[in-house]
Amino acid sequence: MSEGPDNKCCNSHPGISRRGFLSSMGAGAVVAVSLGGATESPAQEIVALGDTVTVNLRVNGTSRKVVVEQRWSLLFVLRELLGLTGTKVGCERGECGACTVLIDGVARYACMTLAVEAEGLEVTTIEGLMDGEQLGATQQAFLEKDAFQCGYCTPGQIMAAEGLLRANPGPDLKEIRHGMAGNLCRCAAYVHIFEAVERAAELKKGGGR
């Protein structure tokens, strides 16, 4: 997920944004060191492995009722239960961005979001940007600008770009670089990726979806 303006929206939703995850990890370390063993944490309910709950998810405009374990990530549920394999498995620890999806229009790491946290929110995957067989504007821009090589990171890159453009329809290059910083490309196609985001902004201004 990008570290740009869209992260302001994430604070109002459950789950972990990319910036929030890194910040909370650092803050947690400081608190742990400062408190030492002086304060005892209150007892918490232990959820047994295999315990399930029913979650109502709205994915790509369709309501889906799924039975999940409370520990399952949204990434796992999207791929393994709903068959939406466009969302890729990468590092599974909030670093690479391959699993980026939109939650209520904001780019988020699906690997760092529990499926139960997404209940009642609108989840959009790479498949949801299409209109039948017609590519969405951001997808079309990545195709036009040849913004991929191996292609594995491309769905996450596109979703991060889509989230950026929904928050900021006309970003400059500095804003694009900042907004896409949470998505890694091992093939280093960054120049073309940035050009694709600029092109996507143009297509959307021209009425592209």
Place of tokens 């109002």: 12
- What order do you get walking across the sheet with 52-59 strand by strand? 62-69, 52-59, 122-124, 100-103, 106-109
Q: How far is CA 22 from CA 93, 100, 173, in A?
A: 11, 16, 24
- Please choose, from the candidates 202, 162, 198, 209, the residue with its C-alpha nearest in 3D space to the C-alpha of residue 6: 162
**Parallel, antiparallel or unpaired: strands 62-69 and 52-59:** antiparallel
**Parallel, antiparallel or unpaired: strands 100-103 and 106-109:** antiparallel
Q: What was the pLDDT predicted at 207? A: 80
DSSP code for 119: T
* Region 175-203 average pLDDT: 97
108's CB contacts (< 8 A; 6+ apart) are 1, 10, 15, 16, 17, 100, 101, 102
Q: How far is CA 19 from CA 68, 101, 120, 179, in A?
A: 27, 16, 23, 11
Q: What was the pLDDT predicted at 206? A: 83
Q: What was the pLDDT predicted at 4? A: 45
What are the E-state strand segments in 3-157? 52-59, 62-69, 100-103, 106-109, 122-124
Angle, helices 154-167 vs 137-144, to 10°: value is: 120
Query: What CA–CA distance (Å, rounded) separates 7 from 18?
Result: 8
180's CB contacts (< 8 A; 6+ apart) are 2, 157, 160, 161, 164, 190, 193, 194, 197
**Interval 80-95: pLDDT, tens:** 999 999 999 999 999 9
Question: How is the chain split into domains, by residue range?
Answer: 52-204
**Interval 15-65: pLDDT, tens:** 555 555 445 555 554 444 344 444 454 555 555 667 899 999 999 999 999
Identify whether the C-beta of residue 203 lies closer than 8 Å to the C-beta of residue 141: yes
Q: Please determine, for residue 157, whether its predicted confidence score (pLDDT) is greater than 60.
A: yes
CATH code of the domain made up of 52-204: 3.10.20.30
What is the token pair recorded at 193? 């990726």
pTM of the model: 0.77
Identify whether the C-beta of residue 84 lies closer than 8 Å to the C-beta of residue 69: no
